[in-house]
Amino acid sequence: EPAARAAVRQLDLRAVGIPEPGAEWTDRYRGTPGWAELYFGGQRQTIARWPNEGWSRIAAVTGGQPFDVRGTVGDKVGRFTYQGERPARWVDEPELWLHGFWFWDWSDQRQRVEQIDPATRTISLVPPHHYYGYRKNQGWYAFNALCELDSPGEYYLDRQRWTLYFWPPAEPAGQELALSLLTVPFATLTDVSHVTLRDLTFELSRGEGIQIRGGTGNRIAGCNLRNLSKLAIRIDGGTDHGVQSCDLSGLGVGGISLSGGDRASLTPAGHFADNNYIHHFAQLVHTYQNGISLSGVGCRMAHNLLHNTVHEALTYRGNDHRVELNEVYDVCLEADDSGVIHQGRDWTWRGNVIRHNFFHDIPAGNAVSNMGVYLDDMECGVEVYGNVLYRIPRAILVGGGRDNAVRNNLIIDCPTALSIDNRAMNWASYHVGTTMKGLLDKVPYQQEPWRSRYPELLSIWSDEPAVPKGNVVRDNLAVRSGPFELSGEVTRYGEVRDNATTAEDPGFADPQRLDFTLTDLAAVRRLVPGFEPIPFGAIGLYRDEYRRELPLRRPTISPAGQSFVEELEVVLQSGRGRAAEAIYFTTDGSLPTTASDRYTRPLRLTEDTTVTALAVVGDETSTVSRAHFRAHHLGPRGGVPLTELAFTEPQAHAGVKVNRNYASSGPVSLGGQPYARSLMICPAAAPPGGRGQAVFALTNGLERATTLTARVGLDDVVKTNGSVVFIVEVLRDGAWEQVYQSRLLRGGQSEAIEVPIAGASAIKLVTTDGGDNIHSDHAVWAEPMLR
């Protein structure tokens, strides 16, 4: 790029005595690549890539080995077409890789490019190809291309000449420029006991940080591990090892892995991760690189704070683990069908407890959506108790498991409060007699101590193992949230009682500063008589001899980004915990600094605005808050798309889908016409059955709308199948009334609607299954607009 030529610096690494790392770059990998990384001013820099941010999209897959996963079509061969002309520039790049979510948005991989054909706009990847295959519209970017070194912070390592090309993001004078070369752990403790590593900093390595194997009673305390390519801390075996009050950041993969104990005898390891601050991890390998993972028997993670990663934060494998008093936010940032904590597909992982955690501010994902607590594929015997789940698309999902207890949870502003399905009885049934039975047979579940500790396992194989029996759902309170979606078997073979939903604040201490302490337990117990107090103030980090001060939290932005009509007031406040001395902000989306405007009064917005904010105490600054606000104007030529508004009380098979079709492979289409803006609300079979809905509040100027327009029908993908009736209800003077009902529409049919809604304080979009069943009922509201 011409603009780069004057800015890029060149350094002969041999001339300054930096040895070549000698790592071989494999053709594909999910682990770390093994090559040296560049850091400037303590921050990981970016290998030259395109696009500089975000992802390009697969135009079409052309490998010639198509396959179908429950209606989602792809190809097993890594060959696909692209749009535009940019990749033609890369034909002569000697070592070009692509990084992509090739088929599912929960599995990423980097792969070497074999060939680019500009004539057909085709990219071919070096085999072996991605395990799950490739499909249209999935995201990818190219990296390690010298010709794409076109922005500050990018670099390229010419391995043949051992020369660095770098565009510094700031004036280099006085800044440290570092290349990571170390490939072995900084410290390895093998079969030693009662050793403490404390108040140490470990940084700038291509290897793991610290390893402990065997021994007993070792501690890693008050340490700072940052800018590492591989896992920060690995504890494998031994007993009573702990990671206490450490800070971990800038990690290529995960943070802390604790493994130990004996599953045959159910002997606990006693390992723990307590009071650790883990953020900006899984920066090289995005998926299944957890901030904290537990494996074996009897490990504990407590009082940790985690944020900022592409995929999931927490997981466990095994038995009798404790996950408690942790705070997690801003994870699953670019993933789908994922959870803050996620594990599953093993009947024998029992005795685990997830309690008194605060999970919040998780994005929606592209298809299935993301969860707070995700007990996937028949996970069993878990207690999910007393958690606070806020602004999460689906607070809790139990994927067809048994003997789980979901009790006393506080669910706030979550479109779906709880889902428990019966997947092992239908699409996931193939796991029952294979994976699940095989794992059951590997443990001595018919012998002591298993038979006494987990008696439900004794009869599981003879007691309809695919049926989600023995689940308990009770004493949960959902505030301004969607429904409890439970398959019929959950109620028939379990205990479901004393759960409540409310649209009113039940008495939170300071919700704008994320303090959800309940100040009036008596009022809560009028809704849920058995509700027990949640120790909200004890959740997260605390001060001790190693952590003498808590990190300054980012400011809150209220409301947290939304569409509005004409004008909106936005308030900035100190975040949870310590109060800020000052908050600085921008309204153009740029990063704020102490030279930015200082916040003194509410912001009044009238146009599209991206607000960023930074808290300051002395010389300490917080991470940055960001919220985008979209302005709309009602009038003769104006309108507000429902697709840009938040909705409540959703009910839909596989969730309400915004601006995408059921398979998330692109936009919906009616009568051959694609629509960029759409709501797909497929009727759900769960009680009350054959019905879907979403409710939109008409506030902040939306109450002036007089008409709803849209085109309704069934997505073209179902051809002539399916049958749906579309209904619009409005809330006037506290009562719902129906103002529109379509004829019965079948596949291939659609109609334009113009519905009067004047005087309404809310509207409800409803779909029904036409009186038969929900098969192929891909119900679409295309271009839904308030006018």
* Structure tokens that stand for 42 in this block: 């303590």
Residue-level pLDDT at 689: 66
The Cα diameter of the chain in Å comes to 79
Query: β-strand 410-412 against 477-479: which pairing, if any?
Result: parallel
Quick check: 757 and 745 in contact, CB under 8 A?
A: no
Q: How does pLDDT run across 708-734, given as a tens digit for each residue?
A: 999 999 999 999 999 999 999 999 999
Quick check: 309 and 284 in contact, CB under 8 A?
A: no
- Contacts with 510 (C-beta within 8 Å, 6 or more apart), sequence order: none
Sign of the torsion formed by the C-alpha atoms of 129, 130, 135 and 140: negative
Residue-level pLDDT at 648: 81
Q: With cut-offs at 50, 70 and 90, classify the pLDDT of residue 742.
A: very high
Q: How does pLDDT run across 195-209, given as a tens digit for each residue?
A: 999 999 999 999 999
25: pLDDT strictly greater than 70: no
- Contacts with 681 (C-beta within 8 Å, 6 or more apart), sequence order: 650, 652, 656, 692, 693, 694, 765, 767, 779, 781
The single-letter code of the amino acid at 665 is: S
Closest alpha carbon to 259 in 278, 289, 230, 234 = 234
Please state the φ and ψ torsions of residue 284, each to the nearest 5 degrees: -100, -50
Quick check: 322 and 353 in contact, CB under 8 A?
A: yes
28: pLDDT strictly greater than 70: no
Sheet holding 322-324, edge to edge: 196-198, 219-221, 242-244, 272-274, 300-302, 322-324, 352-355, 382-385, 405-407, 472-474, 495-497
Closest alpha carbon to 420 in 463, 364, 371 = 371
* Structure tokens that stand for 24 in this block: 């071989």
| Strand runs labelled E in 491-588 | 495-497, 500-502, 508-510, 515-518, 556-558, 563-565, 568-573, 582-586
Q: How does pLDDT run across 92-149, given as a tens digit for each residue?
A: 999 999 999 999 999 999 999 999 999 999 999 999 999 999 999 999 999 999 999 9
Distance CA 438, CA 461 (A): 11
Q: Walk me through the domains of the chain, giving residue ranges and CATH numbers.
A: 2-176 (no CATH), 182-325 (no CATH), 329-534 (no CATH), 556-632 (2.60.40.10), 640-786 (2.60.120.1060)
- Contacts with 114 (C-beta within 8 Å, 6 or more apart), sequence order: 124, 125, 126
Q: How does pLDDT run across 622-638, given as a tens digit for each residue?
A: 999 999 999 988 877 77
Burial zone of 574 (CB within 10 Å; 0-12 exposed, 13-18 middle, 19+ buried) = buried
**Residue range 235-248: average pLDDT?**
99
Sheet holding 46-47, edge to edge: 9-12, 163-166, 154-158, 46-47
* Cis bond before residue 533 (omega within 30° of 0): no
DSSP letter for 145, please: -
Query: β-strand 472-474 against 495-497: which pairing, if any?
Result: parallel
Lookup result for tokens 């004008």: 567
495: pLDDT strictly greater than 90: yes
* Structure tokens that stand for 333 in this block: 């940032």
Query: β-strand 762-768 against 691-697: which pairing, if any?
Result: antiparallel
Tell me the β-bridge partners of 631: 564
**Residue range 571-582: average pLDDT?**
94
Percent of the chain with pLDDT over 90: 87
Quick check: 163 and 10 in contact, CB under 8 A?
A: yes
Distance CA 294, CA 272 (A): 9
Distance CA 333, CA 309 (A): 6
